[in-house]
Protein backbone atom coordinates (compact mmCIF):
# COMPACT_ATOMS: atom_id res chain seq x y z
CA UNK A 1 0.00 0.00 0.00
CA UNK A 2 3.07 2.25 0.12
CA UNK A 3 2.22 5.10 -2.26
CA UNK A 4 -1.55 4.76 -1.74
CA UNK A 5 -1.09 4.82 2.03
CA UNK A 6 0.93 8.03 1.76
CA UNK A 7 -1.77 9.61 -0.42
CA UNK A 8 -4.54 8.63 1.97
CA UNK A 9 -2.58 9.86 4.97
CA UNK A 10 -2.02 13.20 3.25
CA UNK A 11 -5.73 13.43 2.40
CA UNK A 12 -6.65 12.72 6.02
CA UNK A 13 -4.31 15.47 7.20
CA UNK A 14 -5.74 17.94 4.70
CA UNK A 15 -9.26 17.02 5.87
CA UNK A 16 -8.24 17.82 9.45
CA UNK A 17 -8.58 14.37 10.97
CA UNK A 18 -6.84 13.76 14.30
CA UNK A 19 -3.71 11.63 14.33
CA UNK A 20 -5.50 8.92 16.29
CA UNK A 21 -8.30 8.81 13.69
CA UNK A 22 -5.75 8.73 10.88
CA UNK A 23 -4.10 5.68 12.42
CA UNK A 24 -7.44 3.88 12.81
CA UNK A 25 -8.49 4.59 9.21
CA UNK A 26 -5.15 3.52 7.77
CA UNK A 27 -5.13 0.35 9.86
CA UNK A 28 -8.66 -0.52 8.72
CA UNK A 29 -7.75 -0.10 5.05
CA UNK A 30 -4.62 -2.18 5.59
CA UNK A 31 -6.78 -4.98 7.04
CA UNK A 32 -9.10 -4.78 4.04
CA UNK A 33 -6.19 -5.10 1.60
CA UNK A 34 -4.55 -7.88 3.61
CA UNK A 35 -7.77 -9.93 3.54
CA UNK A 36 -7.63 -10.12 -0.26
CA UNK A 37 -3.82 -9.83 -0.50
CA UNK A 38 -4.30 -7.21 -3.20
CA UNK A 39 -4.00 -3.44 -3.39
CA UNK A 40 -7.23 -1.50 -2.74
CA UNK A 41 -6.91 0.03 -6.21
CA UNK A 42 -7.65 -3.46 -7.59
CA UNK A 43 -10.66 -3.98 -5.32
CA UNK A 44 -14.21 -2.73 -5.80
CA UNK A 45 -17.82 -3.05 -4.71
CA UNK A 46 -17.89 -6.86 -4.85
CA UNK A 47 -14.86 -7.14 -2.59
CA UNK A 48 -16.33 -4.56 -0.24
CA UNK A 49 -19.54 -6.62 0.02
CA UNK A 50 -17.57 -9.82 0.55
CA UNK A 51 -15.41 -8.22 3.23
CA UNK A 52 -18.35 -6.97 5.27
CA UNK A 53 -20.04 -10.35 5.06
CA UNK A 54 -16.78 -11.77 6.40
CA UNK A 55 -16.78 -9.26 9.29
CA UNK A 56 -20.40 -10.07 10.11
CA UNK A 57 -19.80 -13.82 10.08
CA UNK A 58 -16.82 -13.35 12.39
CA UNK A 59 -19.08 -11.56 14.87
CA UNK A 60 -17.37 -8.19 14.53
CA UNK A 61 -19.50 -5.63 16.35
CA UNK A 62 -21.61 -3.08 14.42
CA UNK A 63 -19.60 -0.26 16.01
CA UNK A 64 -16.35 -1.66 14.62
CA UNK A 65 -17.97 -2.26 11.24
CA UNK A 66 -19.06 1.39 11.15
CA UNK A 67 -15.45 2.44 11.70
CA UNK A 68 -14.26 0.16 8.90
CA UNK A 69 -16.99 1.52 6.63
CA UNK A 70 -15.98 5.11 7.38
CA UNK A 71 -12.34 4.21 6.63
CA UNK A 72 -13.16 2.61 3.28
CA UNK A 73 -15.57 5.43 2.46
CA UNK A 74 -12.76 7.94 2.85
CA UNK A 75 -10.44 5.78 0.75
CA UNK A 76 -12.86 5.36 -2.14
CA UNK A 77 -14.65 8.70 -2.02
CA UNK A 78 -11.65 10.95 -1.42
CA UNK A 79 -8.32 9.30 -2.12
CA UNK A 80 -9.41 7.13 -5.08
CA UNK A 81 -12.35 9.29 -6.22
CA UNK A 82 -14.47 6.18 -6.81
CA UNK A 83 -17.47 6.78 -4.53
CA UNK A 84 -19.66 4.26 -6.39
CA UNK A 85 -17.62 1.43 -4.85
CA UNK A 86 -18.82 2.19 -1.30
CA UNK A 87 -21.72 4.65 -1.30
CA UNK A 88 -24.29 1.86 -1.69
CA UNK A 89 -23.14 -0.01 1.43
CA UNK A 90 -25.64 0.37 4.31
CA UNK A 91 -24.39 1.49 7.71
CA UNK A 92 -24.44 -1.34 10.24
CA UNK A 93 -27.15 -0.88 12.83
CA UNK A 94 -25.93 -0.94 16.39
CA UNK A 95 -27.57 -1.50 19.73
CA UNK A 96 -28.26 1.57 21.78
CA UNK A 97 -27.92 0.35 25.36
CA UNK A 98 -28.71 2.74 28.17
CA UNK A 99 -25.61 4.19 29.82
CA UNK A 100 -24.40 2.67 33.08
CA UNK A 101 -24.61 5.27 35.85
CA UNK A 102 -23.46 5.37 39.45
CA UNK A 103 -25.58 6.34 42.43
CA UNK A 104 -24.11 9.12 44.61
CA UNK A 105 -23.08 6.56 47.23
CA UNK A 106 -21.38 4.35 44.62
CA UNK A 107 -19.55 7.33 43.15
CA UNK A 108 -18.37 8.33 46.63
CA UNK A 109 -17.09 4.84 47.43
CA UNK A 110 -15.28 4.53 44.13
CA UNK A 111 -13.66 7.97 44.33
CA UNK A 112 -12.45 7.34 47.89
CA UNK A 113 -10.93 4.04 46.76
CA UNK A 114 -8.56 5.95 44.46
CA UNK A 115 -5.49 6.78 46.55
CA UNK A 116 -3.46 8.74 43.99
CA UNK A 117 -4.21 12.50 44.09
CA UNK A 118 -3.58 12.73 40.34
CA UNK A 119 -6.05 10.02 39.38
CA UNK A 120 -8.61 11.06 41.97
CA UNK A 121 -8.69 14.61 40.59
CA UNK A 122 -9.03 13.29 37.03
CA UNK A 123 -12.05 11.22 38.09
CA UNK A 124 -13.49 14.21 39.98
CA UNK A 125 -13.26 16.29 36.80
CA UNK A 126 -15.15 13.63 34.82
CA UNK A 127 -17.86 13.30 37.46
CA UNK A 128 -18.08 16.99 38.39
CA UNK A 129 -17.72 18.57 34.95
CA UNK A 130 -18.80 15.83 32.53
CA UNK A 131 -15.42 15.53 30.82
CA UNK A 132 -14.37 12.70 28.58
CA UNK A 133 -11.31 10.90 29.91
CA UNK A 134 -9.11 12.30 27.12
CA UNK A 135 -10.30 15.81 27.94
CA UNK A 136 -9.60 15.32 31.65
CA UNK A 137 -6.10 14.00 30.97
CA UNK A 138 -5.34 16.96 28.69
CA UNK A 139 -6.38 19.68 31.17
CA UNK A 140 -4.04 22.65 31.55
CA UNK A 141 -3.93 25.46 34.09
CA UNK A 142 -5.07 27.89 31.42
CA UNK A 143 -8.30 25.89 31.01
CA UNK A 144 -9.40 26.73 34.57
CA UNK A 145 -11.40 29.93 34.93
CA UNK A 146 -11.94 30.22 38.68
CA UNK A 147 -13.53 33.69 38.42
CA UNK A 148 -16.35 32.44 36.21
CA UNK A 149 -16.24 28.93 37.74
CA UNK A 150 -15.99 27.21 34.36
CA UNK A 151 -13.57 24.89 32.57
CA UNK A 152 -12.61 25.74 29.00
CA UNK A 153 -12.33 22.51 26.99
CA UNK A 154 -10.16 23.05 23.92
CA UNK A 155 -10.32 20.82 20.84
CA UNK A 156 -12.77 18.30 22.27
CA UNK A 157 -14.47 15.57 20.25
CA UNK A 158 -15.13 16.74 16.71
CA UNK A 159 -12.63 19.58 17.21
CA UNK A 160 -15.20 21.55 19.21
CA UNK A 161 -14.32 23.94 22.03
CA UNK A 162 -16.77 24.43 24.89
CA UNK A 163 -17.26 25.59 28.46
CA UNK A 164 -18.52 23.42 31.26
CA UNK A 165 -19.17 23.91 34.95
CA UNK A 166 -16.34 24.00 37.52
CA UNK A 167 -17.70 22.85 40.90
CA UNK A 168 -16.20 24.32 44.07
CA UNK A 169 -15.00 20.94 45.34
CA UNK A 170 -13.20 20.24 42.07
CA UNK A 171 -11.52 23.65 42.17
CA UNK A 172 -10.27 23.04 45.73
CA UNK A 173 -9.07 19.58 44.72
CA UNK A 174 -7.22 20.95 41.68
CA UNK A 175 -5.48 23.56 43.83
CA UNK A 176 -4.48 20.98 46.43
CA UNK A 177 -3.20 18.65 43.72
CA UNK A 178 -1.17 21.50 42.23
CA UNK A 179 0.31 22.31 45.64
CA UNK A 180 1.42 18.69 46.10
CA UNK A 181 2.51 17.75 42.58
CA UNK A 182 3.78 21.01 41.07
CA UNK A 183 3.61 19.52 37.54
CA UNK A 184 6.19 20.82 35.10
CA UNK A 185 5.09 21.96 31.71
CA UNK A 186 1.63 23.00 30.50
CA UNK A 187 -0.21 19.74 31.32
CA UNK A 188 -1.77 19.37 34.75
CA UNK A 189 -1.50 15.59 34.50
CA UNK A 190 1.74 14.84 32.65
CA UNK A 191 2.47 11.43 31.27
CA UNK A 192 5.41 9.27 32.20
CA UNK A 193 7.65 10.54 29.44
CA UNK A 194 6.06 13.57 27.77
CA UNK A 195 2.72 15.19 27.05
CA UNK A 196 -0.42 14.35 28.99
CA UNK A 197 -1.33 11.15 30.82
CA UNK A 198 -2.68 8.37 28.60
CA UNK A 199 -6.37 7.54 29.18
CA UNK A 200 -5.59 3.82 29.48
CA UNK A 201 -3.81 4.54 32.77
CA UNK A 202 -7.03 6.04 34.14
CA UNK A 203 -8.97 2.99 33.00
CA UNK A 204 -6.63 0.70 34.96
CA UNK A 205 -6.91 2.76 38.14
CA UNK A 206 -10.72 2.85 37.91
CA UNK A 207 -10.83 -0.92 37.41
CA UNK A 208 -8.80 -1.46 40.59
CA UNK A 209 -10.89 1.05 42.56
CA UNK A 210 -14.10 -0.61 41.39
CA UNK A 211 -12.91 -3.97 42.71
CA UNK A 212 -11.82 -2.46 46.02
CA UNK A 213 -15.14 -0.66 46.43
CA UNK A 214 -17.05 -3.88 45.65
CA UNK A 215 -19.08 -2.31 42.85
CA UNK A 216 -20.41 -4.88 40.39
CA UNK A 217 -21.47 -2.50 37.63
CA UNK A 218 -19.16 -2.35 34.59
CA UNK A 219 -17.53 0.98 35.41
CA UNK A 220 -15.38 2.77 32.82
CA UNK A 221 -14.10 6.37 32.72
CA UNK A 222 -17.15 7.29 30.63
CA UNK A 223 -19.43 6.08 33.43
CA UNK A 224 -18.59 9.23 35.40
CA UNK A 225 -19.61 11.44 32.47
CA UNK A 226 -22.85 9.47 32.13
CA UNK A 227 -23.52 9.86 35.86
CA UNK A 228 -22.90 13.61 35.66
CA UNK A 229 -25.40 14.03 32.83
CA UNK A 230 -28.03 11.75 34.37
CA UNK A 231 -27.94 13.59 37.68
CA UNK A 232 -28.38 16.95 35.92
CA UNK A 233 -31.41 15.62 34.05
CA UNK A 234 -32.85 14.32 37.30
CA UNK A 235 -32.29 17.72 38.93
CA UNK A 236 -34.26 19.42 36.15
CA UNK A 237 -31.39 21.24 34.41
CA UNK A 238 -32.34 22.53 30.96
CA UNK A 239 -31.45 19.98 28.29
CA UNK A 240 -29.81 22.60 26.05
CA UNK A 241 -27.46 23.59 28.88
CA UNK A 242 -26.52 19.94 29.45
CA UNK A 243 -25.84 19.59 25.72
CA UNK A 244 -23.43 22.55 25.84
CA UNK A 245 -21.60 21.22 28.89
CA UNK A 246 -21.21 17.75 27.37
CA UNK A 247 -20.20 19.09 23.96
CA UNK A 248 -22.78 17.09 22.03
CA UNK A 249 -23.31 18.11 18.41
CA UNK A 250 -26.92 16.94 18.56
CA UNK A 251 -29.51 17.46 21.27
CA UNK A 252 -30.80 13.98 20.43
CA UNK A 253 -27.61 12.50 21.87
CA UNK A 254 -28.19 14.37 25.12
CA UNK A 255 -31.82 13.29 25.34
CA UNK A 256 -30.90 9.65 25.89
CA UNK A 257 -30.15 10.51 29.51
CA UNK A 258 -33.86 11.15 29.98
CA UNK A 259 -34.39 7.39 29.67
CA UNK A 260 -31.86 6.73 32.43
CA UNK A 261 -33.09 9.36 34.85
CA UNK A 262 -36.56 8.34 35.98
CA UNK A 263 -37.20 9.90 39.41
CA UNK A 264 -39.16 7.67 41.74
CA UNK A 265 -39.01 4.62 39.48
CA UNK A 266 -37.55 2.47 42.23
CA UNK A 267 -40.30 3.55 44.65
CA UNK A 268 -43.20 2.87 42.28
CA UNK A 269 -45.84 0.61 43.93
CA UNK A 270 -45.84 -2.85 42.42
CA UNK A 271 -48.78 -5.28 42.21
CA UNK A 272 -46.55 -8.24 43.09
CA UNK A 273 -45.73 -6.71 46.48
CA UNK A 274 -49.46 -6.53 47.29
CA UNK A 275 -49.94 -10.28 47.08
CA UNK A 276 -50.02 -12.21 50.34
CA UNK A 277 -47.34 -14.71 49.43
CA UNK A 278 -45.13 -16.68 51.87
CA UNK A 279 -41.44 -15.77 52.22
CA UNK A 280 -39.47 -17.13 49.30
CA UNK A 281 -38.13 -20.58 50.04
CA UNK A 282 -36.87 -22.78 47.25
Q: Which domain holds residue 123?
A: 104-258
* Same-domain status, 60 and 143: no
* Same-domain status, 197 and 144: yes
* Same-domain status, 231 and 115: yes
* Same-domain status, 132 and 192: yes
Q: Within 10 Å of residue 211's Cβ, how many Cβ atoms?
A: 12
Give the domain CATH number at 47. 1.10.150.130
Task: Work out the pLDDT band at 264, boundaries 50, 70, 90.
Answer: low
> Above pLDDT 90, what percent of the chain?
62
State the total domains in the chain. 2
Looking at 69, 118, 210, 225, which residue is catalytic?
A: 225
Residue 266 falls within a domain, yes or no? no
Which of 14-23, 85-94, 125-134, 260-269 comes out lowest in average pLDDT? 260-269
Looking at 66, 198, 222, 255, which residue is catalytic?
A: 222
- What mean pLDDT comes out for the span 256-275? 64
* Same-domain status, 17 and 157: no
* Same-domain status, 170 and 55: no
Domain boundary among 85, 117, 144: 85
Looking at 51, 119, 127, 257, which residue is catalytic?
A: 257
| 96 is an active site residue | no
Residue 90 falls within a domain, yes or no? no
* Same-domain status, 174 and 38: no
Task: Work out the pLDDT band at 172, boundaries 50, 70, 90.
Answer: very high
Residue 276 falls within a domain, yes or no? no
* Same-domain status, 233 and 159: yes
| 25 is an active site residue | no
Residues 6+ apart with CB under 8 A from 60: 68
Looking at 132, 162, 210, 226, which residue is catalytic?
A: 132
Residue 211 falls within a domain, yes or no? yes
CA atoms of 148 and 150, how far apart (whole Å): 6
pLDDT of 275 over the 90 cut: no
Give pTM, 2 decimals.
Answer: 0.75
- What mean pLDDT comes out for the span 43-56? 94
The overall average pLDDT reported for the chain is 88
Residue 273 falls within a domain, yes or no? no
Indicate the DSSP class of residue 256: G
Residue 64 falls within a domain, yes or no? yes
| 225 is an active site residue | yes
pLDDT of 282 over the 70 cut: no
pLDDT of 9 over the 90 cut: yes
Give, in order, the Cα–Cα distances in Å from 218 to each of 63, 128, 180, 214: 19, 20, 32, 11
Amino acid sequence: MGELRDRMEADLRVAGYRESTQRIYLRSVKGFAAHFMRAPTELGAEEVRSYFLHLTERGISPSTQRIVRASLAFLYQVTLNRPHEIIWLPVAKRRKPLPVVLSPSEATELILAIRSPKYRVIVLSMYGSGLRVSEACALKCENIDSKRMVLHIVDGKGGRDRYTVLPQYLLRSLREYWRLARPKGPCLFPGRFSGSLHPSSVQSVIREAREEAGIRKPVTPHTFRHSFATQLVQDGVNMAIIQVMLGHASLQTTRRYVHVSVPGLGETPNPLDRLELPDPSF
